[in-house]
Structure 1
Amino acid sequence: MNRTQLAHVLRSASRIAGDNNVLVVGSQAILGVRDEDELPAEATASMEADIAFLEDADRSKADEVEGGIGEFSPFHEEFGYYAEGIHIDTIVLPDGWKERLIRPKLADAEPAEAAFLDPHDLVVSKLAAGRTKDLAFALALVEVGLVDLDVLLDRIYAMPAGVHQSVIDRMIGWVDAMRNTGD
Structure 2
Amino acid sequence: MTVDLQLSVNEQIYPLTVDTRETLLDTLRERLDLAGSKKGCDHGQCGSCTVLVDGRRVKSCLTLTVTVDDQPITTVEGLAGEDGLHPLQRAFIEHDAFQCGYCTPGQLCSAAGMLAEAARGWPSAVTPDVAADPVLGEEEIRERMSGNLCRCGAYPGIVAAIEEVAR
Q: TM-score range by the shorter chain?
A: 0.3 to 0.5
TM-score in terms of structure 1 length = 0.34
Structure having the larger proportion of residues in strand: 2
TM-score in terms of structure 2 length = 0.36
